[in-house]
Amino acid sequence: MIVAQLSDIHADDMAAALTQLDRVLDWLRPMRPDVIIVSGHLAEYKHAESYRAIGDRLKATRSPF
């Protein structure tokens, strides 16, 4: 079983943070994790937009999170 943990994304509608998340998910995708655990600070503000952006990216991995 492969469990991936992502922590402290700090998306906050910032292109740099989302670009970094994209790079991490691109690296992780070939491993096809059985589950992705997301912890820590996902956003400090703009929660709806940030969580939506993170969720869209996690859904694209096709791994439960």
Computed from CA positions of residues 14, 3, 32, 36, in that sequence, does the dihedral angle turn out positive or negative? negative
**pLDDT classification of 1: cutoffs 50, 70, 90:** very high
Strand spans (E) along 1-65: 3-7, 35-39
Domain assignment present for residue 31? The answer is yes
- Measured in residues, the chain has a length of 65
Q: How many domains does the chain have?
A: 1
Domain assignment present for residue 51? The answer is yes
Entry pTM? 0.86
List the domain range (segments joined by +) for residue 11: 3-59
Domain assignment present for residue 64? The answer is no
CB of 21 closer than 8 Å to CB of 54: yes
Domain assignment present for residue 50? The answer is yes
pLDDT digits 0-9 by tens, 3-55: 999 999 998 867 889 999 999 999 999 999 999 999 999 988 888 889 999 99
Domain assignment present for residue 27? The answer is yes
Domain assignment present for residue 65? The answer is no
